[in-house]
Chain A
Amino acid sequence: MTLLSVENLRVTFDTEAGVVEAVRGVSFSLGRERLGIVGESGSGKTQTGRSVLRLIRPPGRIEADRMNFDGIDLIKASERDMRALRGPRIAMVMQDPKYSLNPVMRVGQQLMEGLRRRDGMGKKEAHAKAIEALAAVQIRDPERVMDAWPHELSGGMGQRVMIAMMLIPNPDLLIADEPTSALDVTVQAEVLSILDNLVRTRGMGLIFISHDLRLVSRFCDRVLVMFKGKVVEELPARDLMKAQHPYTQGLLNCLPRIGGPREPLPALDRNADWAR
């Protein structure tokens, strides 16, 4: 069943220096599965993710032939309808907990804010729900974390708090924008297994945006490779290491390998025909 379908999505920014096209005609559809979007910085992968929630501020513009989420036209929906979607139906986990959590609000307050305001829940009930959400992302001492300030949390803890916050309303689609790139390998593995478990048990759709090809190939079902605002290749994640497109191959080859040769790493060719 298709949860989200996007056809010919374009995101453009009118700047003083002219029109910048961040996303140029991206199409994809998503069921209840894990879709990875990979590419370098500036390839438009984050803008694609944000467009689904219509979180592009002027002077940015979103245009698409079609953008449907579970029968709702995301292009025509009013701002009021979009607000009702953001959070309860489609949630987004941002890249960096340092910048995405409110620094002057205790973690517990931030977790309960939505429950109290949106769902009109009582203090006690909201507290219990928040604790439950923190436990679901395997935070060992949820009571202490509830009382902590964001700066008192490590990167991995902050990231888990953000994931917990997004999962409280039980969304159908989770967009995770580089959720693990600020974390080291061991914590990364932990956060991924939490996400994986949640996708399986709750039947969510997941858009996983990352620049780490190895991570995406291990973790996702399907992968879109983006370059300069276009999808250059779409393939099953397990075949990523056997990618055909020269750009995808280039991205793979420039990674150092344990036990690899000590010669300079091959640089990525950004000037070939397919880049235009």
Chain B
Amino acid sequence: MALIEIENLSVTFTAKGRPVRAVKGVSLAVEQGESYGLVGESGSGKSTILRAICGLAPVSGGTIRIGGQPLPSPRGADFSRRVQMVFQDPYASLHPRHTIDRTLSEPLAIHGIGNTDQRVTQALKDVGLPPNFRFRFPHQLSGGQRQRVAIARALMLEPSILLLDEPTSALDASVQAETLNLLNRLCAERGLTFLMVSHDLAVIDHMCDRILVMQHGQAVEELPREALAKAEMKTDYARSLFAASADRMLDA
């Protein structure tokens, strides 16, 4: 049984009185310990799927099951302990007037977990930040450092699933490399399951075992990692996406 099972998921927003179908009947399954990637252009509904899992998008049809159990609505405390999300923009996803210490200890306080002091220090260490960053504010950190804090926050409750929404697209190439290495290390150390969204095929290829290509809210094609490098895609859209990323090939 897969850890994350999404069947026939639809998400419909209402914009100016008109329904907008952001996700139309997408199904996917992610195994325990797997890294699964969602790719597609802006507006293809890939981030909306992650938000729907967290209960942040209006699901209009289909089911989402984690570990075989359908998710309750609202999601509740157990869900937060199993699933956490890292957002795209580290400038917008940290509270600007909370210190790093407060940001990291808040989930512990909400879930009544003690030993805050030691856990916060350890969390900073795990993501490779010096301990004296604890009492800084987000504006005193660089983009890469902020994204590390966002990852540390997501890991405070020791979840088994991380939802990553373009975790490196706001970062420079060198900082992106450091962040991807960090995520891979944490994944190996803790046996995490990743569901990751990116528009950069090279990043997805580096991180993920299987890839789902999306367009206009629909699933276009599912590919294993090996098929991507060999350009063995069956649909035209997946091929055109691949062609636009041709300069990201190994031998380019």
Enumerate chain B residues within 8 angstroms of A41, measured Cβ to Cβ.
Answer: 142-143, 172, 175
- In addition to A42-B142, A185-B245, 19 A-B residue pairs with Cβ atoms within 8 Å of each other are A40-B172, A40-B174, A41-B172, A154-B42, A155-B42, A184-B41, A185-B199, A214-B247, A215-B247, A254-B173, A255-B173, A255-B202, A256-B180, A257-B206, A258-B249, A259-B250, A260-B205, A267-B177, A267-B178
> CB-nearest residue of chain B relative to A189?
B244
Q: Is the beta-carbon distance between A258 and B202 smaller than 8 angstroms?
A: yes
Q: Is A250 an interface residue (CB 8 A)?
A: yes
Shortest distance in angstroms between B231's beta carbon and chain A's nearest beta carbon? 9
Instruction: Please provide the 4 A-B residue pairs with the shortest distance between their CB atoms, ordered closest to farther.
Output: A259-B229, A256-B206, A254-B177, A184-B199
- Against B, the Cβ 8 Å flags (1 = close, 0 = not) of A206-237 are 00000111110110000000000000000000
Q: Is the beta-carbon distance between A257 and B181 smaller than 8 angstroms?
A: no
The A/B interface has a contact count, at CB < 8 Å, of 101
Most-contacted residue by chain A among B185, B247, B248 (CB, 10 A): B247
Enumerate chain A residues within 8 angstroms of B158, measured Cβ to Cβ.
Answer: none
> CB-nearest residue of chain B relative to A183?
B42
Q: Is A103 an interface residue (CB 8 A)?
A: no
Q: What are 8 sample pairs from A and B whose C-beta atoms fall under 8 A apart?
A: A154-B42, A186-B41, A211-B173, A218-B247, A256-B202, A257-B248, A257-B250, A257-B252
> CB-nearest residue of chain B relative to A255?
B173
B252: contacting residue among A154, A185, A212, A214, CB under 8 A:
A214
Q: Is the beta-carbon distance between A213 and B248 smaller than 8 angstroms?
A: no
- Against A, the Cβ 8 Å flags (1 = close, 0 = not) of B151-175 are 0000000000000000000001111
Enumerate chain B residues within 8 angstroms of A255, measured Cβ to Cβ.
Answer: 173, 177, 202, 248
Shortest distance in angstroms between B148's beta carbon and chain A's nearest beta carbon? 14
Q: Is B108 an interface residue (CB 8 A)?
A: no
Q: Is A187 an interface residue (CB 8 A)?
A: yes
Shortest distance in angstroms between A191's beta carbon and chain B's nearest beta carbon? 13
Q: Is A265 an interface residue (CB 8 A)?
A: yes
Residues of A with Cβ closer than 8 Å to B?
A: 40-42, 154-156, 183-187, 189, 211-215, 217-218, 241, 250-251, 254-260, 262, 264-268
Enumerate chain A residues within 8 angstroms of B143, measured Cβ to Cβ.
Answer: 41
Shortest distance in angstroms between B60's beta carbon and chain A's nearest beta carbon? 23
Residues of B with Cβ closer than 8 Å to A?
A: 41-43, 142-143, 172-178, 180-181, 184-185, 199-203, 205-206, 228-230, 240-241, 244-245, 247-250, 252
> CB-nearest residue of chain A relative to B185?
A264
Enumerate chain B residues within 8 angstroms of A156, measured Cβ to Cβ.
Answer: 42
> CB-nearest residue of chain A relative to B171?
A41
Enumerate chain B residues within 8 angstroms of A211, measured Cβ to Cβ.
Answer: 172-173
Q: Is the beta-carbon distance between B202 and A212 smaller than 8 angstroms?
A: no
> CB-nearest residue of chain B relative to A155?
B42
Q: Is the beta-carbon distance between A185 and B244 smaller than 8 angstroms?
A: yes
Q: Is the beta-carbon distance between A256 and B42 smaller than 8 angstroms?
A: no
Q: How far is the CA of A155 from the CA of B200 in the complex (A)?
A: 16
A186: contacting residue among B174, B230, B241, B249, CB under 8 A:
B241
A258: contacting residue among B178, B180, B245, CB under 8 A:
B245
Q: How far is the CA of A255 from the CA of B205 in the complex (A)?
A: 12
Most-contacted residue by chain B among A156, A185, A267 (CB, 10 A): A185
Enumerate chain B residues within 8 angstroms of A183, measured Cβ to Cβ.
Answer: 42
Enumerate chain A residues within 8 angstroms of B173, measured Cβ to Cβ.
Answer: 40, 211-213, 251, 254-255
Enumerate chain A residues within 8 angstroms of B185, measured Cβ to Cβ.
Answer: 264
A185: contacting residue among B178, B206, B241, CB under 8 A:
B241
Enumerate chain B residues within 8 angstroms of A241, measured Cβ to Cβ.
Answer: 252
